[in-house]
Structure 1
Amino acid sequence: MDRTHSKLFKIVLSLFALNCLSLSVYFSLPYHHQNHSDHHRPSLNNNLPSLLDSRHHFLTENRPTLTDNHLQNKNNSNFNNNHYLKPWPILPSYLPWTRNRKVSFRSCEAYFGNGFNRRIDILPANPGGSSGWFRCFFSETLRSSICEGRNVRMVPERIHMSKGGEAIEEVMRRTEEEELPEFQNGAFEVLGVGRNGKNLVGDFLDTSVPGGEITRNTMRGLIGSIRAVDNEEFECDQWIEEPTLLVIRFEYANLFHTVTDWYSAYVSSRVTELPYRPHVIFVDGHCRAPLDETWRALFSSVRYAKNFTGPVCFRHVVLSPLGYETALFKGLSEDIDCEGASAHDLWQNPNDRKTARLSEVGEMIRAASGFFVNRHGSEKPVSGHNVLFVRREDYLAHPRHHGKVESRLSNEGEVFDSLQSWASNHARCNVNLVNGFFAHMSMKEQIRAVQEASVIIGAHGAGLTHIISATPKTVILEIISSQFRRPHFRLIAQWKGLEYHAINLGGSYASPAVVIDRLDRIMKSLGC
């Protein structure tokens, strides 16, 4: 009997090893050679069978076909590893993304991106499949649209802006107006048989891509430039067969505004059910910035529109709404009454006033940066507590920046030195004070510091946006000067379900004793 058990054990072990090997080979295969039915890669705690029907519908309707045009042009793309797309990582906070019309207006799901449920077919698909199509999904809650199309051509010479992607030292004093795109009619075209030269959209822009609260909605300008053309005019220097996101950035060097763009790009990918992480093309003329590193980690590749030398055609393209149209930005002027909750709890007990979407995107950022993502937040040190003090320092952000940051805490150095002395007196709890000079740390180093922190403390500033990637039990302490009483980070903490505290100053000077007292109370609540 023992020998029989031993043989059975060896057989089971061999099968397990074979299965692991098969999975590793599968996940290393290029985009065109993988089974697309696994495009969501959801968390194991999701109800997988319920997703199969929607996945099959996406694949049969949207998957690019290997046409003769594809075979002739597939080697023309200048993207690195163009035929490989990164898989979506497994995210503990992932919940299925739907276009269900039953999503409640102004519910948390709708505010945080799962409410793009009104489909508008601007150029319907040709039954024969030889033409292109263009459609948008509108969110009444966000007053925004995610659009996508098949067989779309971009003509860079009809987009007026600087080249983009240069080193900042090469473009000093360049104006923002030069970097933001202006679109000539026909800057983008869709292959639409029988509609040659006709503009694709009209009144649709006012109802589904409104100008919003910003002076110049550049994505509205892009969509307004689109026209339909016949085969004779649809000539391409190169084809990109894989799904590609078009992104227009404004505040490309500011972490808060960049996170809103990451958020919008992620939501656009999920709403349009992209099976793998898409390529990204920046349709703006901004210079290179440190945050480009994370764009490349999040998506399959990144390129600037003006880096193409001639017309480029996309088999499947998605237009990501501006970051200004996400809940992260709208929450600054609208009352978004939502609380963070775990995806597991929301799966079992749906609640219109709770969300796990912000945690999902935070996990995406961490996973893309190479960190293991655990729902229980065990990435923190096994023993002791890290207290991360987010610092502000001088750095050159963009060509119009003088390299000096605005002072939000006039005695930041004094506060930090006092916290160091305080931490040295908490040896029994093994408290480690982390000096968070983020401006000169790689993004991976920044994210590591955030996820290992038990407490994150800092003056109001873009660096605190990193709390979107904080693990579930992290405590936030924000020091707010009288000139910057804005709710950015209180709201992010609330929407992630993090414990949040604030010290409101009469000016910009913080009493070290007051900061230490508040931090001491927080540490006691953590058992220190």
Structure 2
Amino acid sequence: MSKRNPQILKIFLYMLLLNSLFLCIYFAFHSSSSSPEQNPNFPLRFHVSVNNHSATQKPWPILPSYLPWTPPQKNLPTGSCEGYFGNGFTRRVDFLRPRTSKGSWFRCFYSETLHSSICEGRNLRMVPDRIVMSKGGEKLEEVMGRKEEEELPEFREGAFEVAEEVSRLGFKRNRRIGGGGSVISRRLVNDEMLNEYIQQGGIDRHTMRDLVASIRAVGTEDFVCEEWVEEPTLLVTRFEYANLFHTVTDWYSAYVSSRVTGLPNRPHVVFIDGHCTTQLEETWTALFSGIRYAKNFSKPVCFRHAILAPLGYETALFKGLTGEINCNGESAQSLWQNPDNKKTARLSEFGEMIRSAFGFPVNRHRSSEKPSSSSSSSVHNVLFVRREDYLAHPRHGGKVQSRLSNEEEVFDSLHHWVESGSIGLTKCGINLVNGLFAHMSMKNQVRAIQDASVIIGAHGAGMTHIVSATPNTTIFEIVSVEFQRPHFELIAKWKGLEYHAMHLANSRADPTAVIDKLKEIMKSLGC
């Protein structure tokens, strides 16, 4: 047995124990409360024709950086790192309580730190005809020129309904918009409660707020469904669906929502937006058990368990750009033994989730490869993340704004230096990887990030992939004078990665200076 095997065995046993403990806590917590979601039966009084199209859900992988999410920590300080990145959703608000063990319910979990909520409900009905937006999911070429306003949802009254077992007293008869007849209903959440728990947010249209505002509680006699989705489903609205940074914030919000609500498996996702399909959906599909667009449902559909994920704008990843979030990345093992409100392992956990979703082993330590020559020195992958022209969405001209005007010259100089034997380095070699992400699948992009010892790049969305970097990765960002933004320095800090920046006086970098800086970084790695 090699010397590494006992250490690997210890890590495996630690993760097995941690995940077993989480399951015990989860089932103890949920069995002790009146949780109707544990009972799959629906009240017989409901008019139901079950036509279930849901498929088997993917299990959660074992993640070395995983720490339990439920129940949330007691007396969690507002503004703590767990409050920002983990389960700070400690205030539970019940808008509809079940009247029987099989009844419907709707509740939200509010975060005093993020000032946002994660909401969930049982027996939630979606009426696609009352959501005004484009169909969504089309190929980009089919919708060129379509306006953004057409793709973002507008929720009419009753776009969502939840069944309520109650007499007709106290209800009012509302005329259904866009259809004949009327229905006995009441508004589930009033404006006062919306203002307190689902605030408007930093953008003009907070679609989760509008969605919740549209929910009507209807009597069981009026709650009719021909199609049911039996398994837990995330309802997600995306804004910047073609930009990697903003999409990562949506991935993170969806992941956190799944964990906070204690889902035993990875949920399905329904996009409550009318955006066209993009390359980034490859990761959505890998992370979750399946994706579908709201308008793909031809008629009303009922979800046995629906979870409403906040906008990516409501996550710490976005809010940290304008507000100081003083958190440093730390290993989960260290935080398990010594909790610290100023440290977090949540972004590392999330990065491991992405790598695992694509089938990459998260327990593997990146080992240096041996070169083919007679030299015994090790070889490190240095990934240069490139910015290229690409067509992202119907309103995109296919051009990216230059953040490094002489990027090609810098890469060619690095390539020549490496091909010449990495002059100045004596103890290791370099394999320079040309990160042409626009021409790579999402899986191969994540693979390149995982295998890199050093990641170089100008400020741009592609650098957001560092959320998936391994703990011993070094980040080297080239920052032009026009794009001095903290995105990637913050992600590196929150993950505990070593970070270096080269600040330019304009948008042009001196290739020799870049090589010298890389040489300095490689020497710190033992080269």
Pairwise same-fold verdict (TM > 0.5) = yes
Q: Could you tell me which of 205, 212, 226 is aligned with 1:223?
A: 212
Q: Could you tell me which of 300, 303, 308 is aligned with 2:297?
A: 308
Pair 1:55-2:18 in alignment: no
Kindly state the Cα deviation for residue 384 of structure 1 after the two structures are TM-superposed. Answer: 1.0
Kindly state the Cα deviation for residue 146 of structure 1 after the two structures are TM-superposed. Answer: 0.2
Pair 1:65-2:60 in alignment: no
Kindly state the Cα deviation for residue 52 of structure 1 after the two structures are TM-superposed. Answer: 1.2
Residue ranges of structure 1 left out of the alignment (5+ in a row): 1-40
Q: Could you tell me which of 169, 174, 186 is aligned with 2:146?
A: 174
Q: Could you tell me which of 47, 70, 77 is aligned with 2:52?
A: 77
Matches within 5 A, 1:70-469: 73-74=49-50, 76-78=51-53, 82-98=54-70, 99-126=72-99, 128-194=100-166, 196-202=184-190, 203-374=192-363, 377-378=365-366, 381=369, 383-426=378-421, 429-469=428-468
Instruction: Give CA deviations for 1:268-324 in whole Å, capped at 9, x if unaligned.
Output: 000000010001000000000000111011000100000000000011000000000
C-alpha separation in 2, matches of 1:462 and 1:299: 22
C-alpha separation in 2, matches of 1:407 and 1:442: 23
Matches within 5 A, 1:5-84: 43-44=15-16, 46=18, 48-49=20-21, 51-58=23-30, 61=35, 62-67=37-42, 73-74=49-50, 76-78=51-53, 82-84=54-56
Instruction: Give CA deviations for 1:350-399 in whole Å, capped at 9, x if unaligned.
Output: 0010000000011100000110101x633664741000000000110000
Runs of 4+ in 1 over 6 A off after TM superposition: 68-72
Kindly state the Cα deviation for residue 72 of structure 1 after the two structures are TM-superposed. Answer: 7.2
Pair 1:510-2:483 in alignment: no
Instruction: Give CA deviations for 1:394-426 in whole Å, capped at 9, x if unaligned.
Output: 110000000011110000000000000121234
Kindly state the Cα deviation for residue 150 of structure 1 after the two structures are TM-superposed. Answer: 0.3
8 A contact 1:377–1:472 mirrored in 2: no
C-alpha separation in 2, matches of 1:364 and 1:304: 23
Q: What is the DSSP-based 3-state SS (H/G/I as helix, E as strand, rest coil) of the residue aligned with 1:46?
A: helix
Kindly state the Cα deviation for residue 204 of structure 1 after the two structures are TM-superposed. Answer: 1.1
> How many pairs were matched up?
482
Identity of aligned residues (%): 63
8 A contact 1:479–1:504 mirrored in 2: yes
8 A contact 2:43–2:103 mirrored in 1: no
CA RMSD of aligned residues (A): 1.9
Kindly state the Cα deviation for residue 113 of structure 1 after the two structures are TM-superposed. Answer: 2.7
Letter in 2 for 1:208: Y
Q: What is the DSSP-based 3-state SS (H/G/I as helix, E as strand, rest coil) of the residue aligned with 1:44?
A: helix
8 A contact 1:42–1:95 mirrored in 2: no
Q: What is the DSSP-based 3-state SS (H/G/I as helix, E as strand, rest coil) of the residue aligned with 2:453?
A: strand
Residue ranges of structure 2 left out of the alignment (5+ in a row): 1-12, 172-183, 371-377
8 A contact 2:19–2:62 mirrored in 1: no
Instruction: Give CA deviations for 1:101-134 in whole Å, capped at 9, x if unaligned.
Output: 41111000001031000000010122x2343100
Structure-1-length-normalised TM-score: 0.88
The equivalent of 2:6 in structure 1 is none
Letter in 2 for 1:92: P
Shift of the 320–122 alpha-carbon distance from structure 1 to 2, 3 Å rule, reads: same
